Amino acid sequence: MLTKSTIATKRKYNVLNVKSAKKVASFWLERAKLENAIGFGLPEVDDRYHIWRVPLVGKTSHERVGEVVIDAYTSLIVEDKSTNPEVLESRLLGRNSHKKTGVRKQNGTYVLSSLRNTIAQGDSEELLQELPAGSVNLIFTSPPYYNARPEYTDYVTYEEYLLKIRKIIQNAHRVLAEGCFFVMNISPVLVRRASRSEASRRIAVPFDMHKLFIEEGYDFIDDIIWEKPEGAGWATGRGRRFAADRNPLQYKPVPVTEYILVYRKHTDKLIDWNIRAHPDKEIVKASRVADDYDRTNIWKITPSHDQRHPAIFPVELAEKVIKYYSFKGDVVLDPFAGIGTVGKAAVKLNRRFVLLEQNPKYVSIIREEAKTWLGKEAKQIHTINCAPIDADNMLF
């Protein structure tokens, strides 16, 4: 007879053994604040449905009160098959449950995400399909540049590039919770001339992105300008000709700004709803923004550079976006994670992160960096398409 671990290995599951299944379930119990009242029975793997069932047992009564179901491939909790925390609480107290709490149901009630910190390697268009609907509270990203450097682009035409970004914005819509924000750092792109007889071109990428967001079901909220200190854009060489000749019509300012475009997933509910419906008033209070907030839509921030990646954004920028557009404990997603700046800022501000990145080199850097952000807690990180979770042999 095959053991549970052998079945899991044979099927190439991400959750390989009983210990790993309990670890994943513990995280879920902690989020529901039930870890002191509930323990585990013996987890069973069910390879017809590719799931692990972890029985939940009351610590005082020693009776079974429910179960947590884990997707064996992704290691995500299957929410609609797991016992609702509200029901668990009622069973522990020995009463029937009809009470409505903030624990998440779709359509109108506020849902708390059970996603834990996640790092995934691959194409975010596909990876987004693996995340549960409504499980993310904020998206902040900076997409790959079109043709900024020939070695740094995978797109033959600009239309092909826009189509790829559209699909990602579209798939992100499903995973973003009701009325939550999608913030994108983007700027026009300079396509250098191929020869002296040709003109260089500037493509107004932010305005094309705007169209995609509106068509894919988001409402426009704000355009914030990220202003870099003078000198930051001189390397482009733009404006040199005019500086020498001063002929009208040839005027070309050096770009020292980028856009931070702010969208909200379309909903009939006011932003006020997202604040009032939050189930934990203490968290809402603790997330209030301090007095030194940015009064205008011009944010002055020095750019960051890192030898390991050609196009990172400064952690200060990610921190501003996260503190203005999410609550503590929320899940922040970056579908183009690079070396994980959004993850670093999220942890600093007590949020969870979901980082999707297709380049394995950058994923390794994120996994290494995550140890410094999270310390021992890095062991709890959920990984997709990286080495499997094995509690006996943690990679972090």
Does 130 engage in binding with ligand SAM (CB under 6 A)? Answer: no
Q: Which is nearer to ligand SAM, 30 or 154 (CB)?
A: 154
Q: Which is nearer to ligand SAM, 171 or 287 (CB)?
A: 171
In three-state secondary structure terms, 64 is strand
**Closest by Cα among 112, 153, 118 to 335:** 118
What Rg value do the Cα atoms of the chain yield, rounded? 24
Q: Which stretch binds ligand SAM (CB under 6 A): 14-22, 282-290, 351-359, 386-394?
A: 351-359
The least distance separating ligand SAM from the CB of residue 121, rounded to whole angstroms, comes to 9
Does 348 engage in binding with ligand SAM (CB under 6 A)? Answer: no
Q: Which is nearer to ligand SAM, 154 or 198 (CB)?
A: 154
- Burial zone of 321 (CB within 10 Å; 0-12 exposed, 13-18 middle, 19+ buried): buried
Out of 20, 287, 358, 385, the only residue in the binding site for ligand SAM (CB under 6 A) is 358
The residues, any chain, with a CB within 8 Å of residue 9's CB and separated by 6 or more, are 16
> What does the chain come to in residues?
396
- Burial zone of 68 (CB within 10 Å; 0-12 exposed, 13-18 middle, 19+ buried): buried
Q: Which stretch binds ligand SAM (CB under 6 A): 62-70, 78-86, 117-125, 229-237?
A: 117-125
Q: What's the sign of the alpha-carbon dihedral 389, 44, 131, 327?
A: negative
3-state helix, strand, coil in the chain (%, to 5): 35, 20, 45
Structure-block tokens of residue 116: 């834990």
- In angstroms, the Cα distances linking 110 to 78, 101, 282, 326 are 18, 9, 16, 14
- Binding to ligand SAM in span 202-231, by CB under 6 A: none
- Binding to ligand SAM in span 297-336, by CB under 6 A: 309, 311-313, 336
Out of 43, 132, 206, 338, the only residue in the binding site for ligand SAM (CB under 6 A) is 338
Give the residue nearest to ligand SAM (CB): 338
Does 341 engage in binding with ligand SAM (CB under 6 A)? Answer: yes
What is the residue whose two structure tokens read 């500086």? 243
The least distance separating ligand SAM from the CB of residue 183, rounded to whole angstroms, comes to 12
Q: Which is nearer to ligand SAM, 242 or 324 (CB)?
A: 324
Q: Which is nearer to ligand SAM, 117 or 124 (CB)?
A: 124
Q: Which is nearer to ligand SAM, 66 or 143 (CB)?
A: 143
Does 14 engage in binding with ligand SAM (CB under 6 A)? Answer: no
The least distance separating ligand SAM from the CB of residue 339, rounded to whole angstroms, comes to 4
Does 383 engage in binding with ligand SAM (CB under 6 A)? Answer: no
Residues 155 and 145: beta-carbon distance below 8 Å: no
Out of 25, 37, 260, 356, the only residue in the binding site for ligand SAM (CB under 6 A) is 356
Does 147 engage in binding with ligand SAM (CB under 6 A)? Answer: no
**Closest by Cα among 305, 345, 280 to 138:** 345
Angle at 175 between CA 211 and CA 35, to 5 degrees: 155
Out of 17, 117, 124, 287, the only residue in the binding site for ligand SAM (CB under 6 A) is 124
Q: Which residues bind ligand SAM (CB under 6 A)?
A: 123-125, 142, 144, 309, 311-313, 336, 338-339, 341, 356-359, 362
